[in-house]
Each structure stands twice: as structure tokens, then as C-alpha cells.
Amino acid sequence: MADTNEQVLTNNKEEPKIIIKNVFNRFLDGFRNWKYFMLVVVLLFVATMAFCVWMFLKSHFDTKNLNERAEELYNLKNYNTSILNSNNSIKNEITSTKTLDELIDYNIKIDWMRQGFEDYLKWIQASYDNFLSYILLPSLNIWKDPFLGEIDYNMIWKRFLEKNPYNDIDLINRRSDFIKDVGNDNEYNEIESIELWEMVEVWEEFYVPVTVSYVAPSYRWFLLLLEKMSVTSNQKNISLLNEFVYNMWQVIKSENPDEITKAQEIYTGFSEDKALWYMLYLWVKWNDDYPLVTDDVVDKTIRKIVVCWDEDSIEYCYYKFRDKYRTLPGLAYTIWLESNWSGAAYLRTFFQNLPQVMKISSFTYDWETVKDMVNFSKKQYKWSISFNLYGDWLSSDEVVEIQDLLWWMCLWEKLTPESALKQINSKLTSIWKDTEIDTYTTTRLMELESLISGISSSFGGLSNYKKVVRTFEMYRMLNEWNICNI
């Protein structure tokens, strides 16, 4: 029985080999047969002819397509510069450029030159971007230091009213003084009316429209105010200011490097230039006494501007300076004086009295003859001026930055009307759950809830400046009513 099983297994193993051998033998027999051989040949011939026809048609159409695009193919080697030759800016340099490689090299050269000009422009604008802009275009974000980036979260309530230069009373007082005081004599311009319109915030700037009507007692006062207003409403004057500060910057860097190094030690992380600009800003803004700007620095700055280094011709040097800066008489005719000469002190006073950038919208004037107490007749000039006072705006990112800071100071989340109301409701809920209800506290909280609900209803449509004011108002109320961090 065992032998029979082994025989069956052996037959099963050999069976596939037999089948393959039989199929192979049949194929050889069929191939030897002429009829099958001819069939194979015909099939191979048809396939070969079909492939040849396909290749012929493909080559034909490819050649036709390439011929139609011969000009494009030519331009791969020799670029058509006819359009560039018609450009007045580059036609003289592009005439010899034919190939793509030459055009790419020229483009690289242009990029290098463009970057060089941009770097140079940034360099010569450094005095404006890092110093003058903070004076001529004061920021609407009065809570944030422009150099240190620190936010003064204590500027609320009384301190806010004292420090805020954009409240109506302060604006009216400063604009009135600006119009009235134009000379050192006893006379002054008489304000008849002054109107401030709603502050307008636009992209990267804001402005306050102002209309003033006043009476100038004489033609001289008429001209003095005109000169005063032209200081920052005239582009040429702003350029002259930038040139002066730029040259002073260069002189200070060469004359007082040790003082700049000391400033860097105080303000860790500041570059040499940033430390210098910050010290100049403090020198002007807060009367801080830094030995950066000296009379010698001012003298060398003047000489550098007018390219005049001959010690024997000092009067001529100052004459050249006065002639160049005659449209800024407040600078040209004070800083150079040799009698009791204190150029640094005059310069700081000049910068402190600089008005922010303004744009005159319209002005009209008329005159009338009046008589004084001794019956002496004289002319008075009646003016009406409309102008915009410009400054640096307060961005949406700065609003969020302040909200985030007050988050840490109060609610541990971004301080918004919604988060404030959520905190108040949480406090009210905890009081109502108490068996002994504090009526006084509950009444105060409900009053606070009503106030902040009023802020919330209009918060979305407010300008960025007013959003920050409302945010600080909420912070003050929450802090004073012990709602913070509960």
C-alpha cells in the first residue's frame, strides 16, 4: 500500500514537466509547418510597416512645427531686442546685446545696480527714517516708545490727559500758540476762531483738519507766520532738514565714537546707529544732556554741508550756509551766530519748536485800517487758514499688541469688550450663587457691565486710535473695580 502511494506522488511531480514538454513540441511542429511560418512573417511585416508609417508622419509634423517656429528657435540663440531698443532708458546699452546669455548678464548687472541705488537711498534717508520722522510725523501710538518698543500701560486716566497731545484742548492750545507767537516783540497775532475736525486715520498716516481765523497786527507778522508754516509744509525745507541731520550724523560718528559706545552699553542690543539716533531723540524730546551734539559738532556740520574748511574764511562759510538755508530762517539765522555762540543749544531749540508736517488746504486774507489809542492809523491783516496736521498712524497690529499686553495685566486673555463682559458675568454668577448676596458689589458690577456693553456695541466701527483708548478705559475700570485676575 505504501509503495502505491509513493508511486502516485512521483507521477504528480512529473506531470507538469510532461505538459510543458508537449506544448513546446507542438509549437515546434507548427513552426515547421510553412503555413504557420508565413502567418508569423506577415504579422511582423504589417507591424513593421505600421511603425514606419507612424514614424514618417511624426517626423513630418515635427519638422513642419519646427519650421513654423524657426524664429523662436533662432531667438534661443540670438534674442530679438527690437522692443528693448525702443526703450529710451536702456537703448544705448542694449544695442550690442544679441544672445540670451548677454541679456541675462545685462539683467544681473541691472539688478546689482538697482540694489546699489536702493542701499544708497536707504543710507541717505537714514536721518529721516530714524530721527526726523519721529519729530515731523509724531506717532498716534502715544503709549509705545518708538525705539525701545515698550508700552506704557500706566498712561491712563489723569496721566493720559496730561501726556496725550491729541486731545482737543491740547491741540487747540498748541495750535493757538503756534499762530499767535511768531516773534519776540510784544505784538502777537489775535485768534478770532479755531476749529478742529475729526481725526482721520488712513493707511500709514493720520491727519487732523484745522481751520483758524486770526488777525495779524502788521505785515511783518503776516510774513513771519507764513514763514513758520512753510517750514514743514514745503518739501524743499524737509529735504534741507534731512541733509543737515545726515551730515551731523556723519560728524558725530567721527567725532564722538566713545559716547556712542557708552550708549550701546546702556541700551544693550542697540546697533551703533540706533544708539546714536535714540540719544539724539532723547536730547531733543526730553532735554536730556548727552555730549553728542556740541558747538564744535554743529560748526563742522555747517562746514561739511557747504564744503568749506578754510579756517580763515569762517564768515564766508556761514554766509554760504545762510544762503543755502535761507528758506529755513529759524535755522539759518540763529545757529551760526558768533556772539554768545551756542550752536548746540540753538539747534535743540529749533528742533523742539519744529511743527509736525502740515498741508495747507486753503487760505484767504484781507486787510483793514484801524486806529490805536493815539489815533495812529495802521493796517491789520485778517487771515483764515485751513490745513491738515499729519502724523504716523496706529496700525491694527499695534492695537492687538496693546490688547495682548493688557491681557497679561488683567484677564489672562486678549482684552476686548467680549472678554471683559465674560469676566464680569463670571463674577456676577459666582455672587448670585452665594447665599449672602452683596447688593453693593452686584450693583457696581451690573453698572460696569452696562458701560462695557455700550463700548462693545460700537467697538468694531471705531478707528484704531479710539479702539486703544476704549481698551485702556476698560482696563482702568476692570482694574479699579477689582475685576482683574479673579
Give residue 56's pLDDT band: very low, low, confident or very high (50, 70, 90).
Answer: confident
Q: What is the pLDDT of residues 232-256, one digit of tens each?
A: 999 899 999 999 999 999 999 998 8
Q: Residue ranges per domain, the chain?
A: 158-391, 396-480
**Interval 61-75 mean pLDDT:** 69
Q: How many C-beta atoms lie closer than 10 Å to residue 104's C-beta?
A: 12
What phi and psi, each to the nearest 5 degrees, are found at residue 369? -95, 130
Q: What is the pLDDT of residues 77-87, one digit of tens each?
A: 566 666 666 67
Tell whether the model's pLDDT for residue 9 goes beyond 50: no
| Pick from 17-26, 39-48, 102-111: least confident | 17-26
Q: What is the pLDDT of residues 395-440, one digit of tens each?
A: 999 999 998 888 777 767 778 888 888 888 887 877 766 655 567 7
C-alpha cell at 124: 541717505
The span from the CA of 424 to the CA of 477, in Å, is 11
pLDDT at 281: 92
Give residue 8's pLDDT band: very low, low, confident or very high (50, 70, 90).
Answer: very low
Distances (CA, A) of 51 to 54, 56, 62, 64, 425: 5, 9, 16, 20, 84
Q: Which residue has the higher pLDDT, 428 or 99?
A: 428
pLDDT at 72: 62
Tell whether the model's pLDDT for residue 26 goes beyond 80: no
pTM of the model: 0.73
The span from the CA of 4 to the CA of 6, in Å, is 6
Mean pLDDT of all residues belonging to the chain: 80
Nearest to 243 by CA among 299, 291, 301, 196: 301
The span from the CA of 375 to the CA of 177, in Å, is 29
The span from the CA of 321 to the CA of 308, in Å, is 10
Give residue 135's pLDDT band: very low, low, confident or very high (50, 70, 90).
Answer: very high
**Interval 346-363 mean pLDDT:** 89
**Interval 452-469 mean pLDDT:** 90
Q: How many C-beta atoms lie closer than 10 Å to residue 16's C-beta?
A: 9
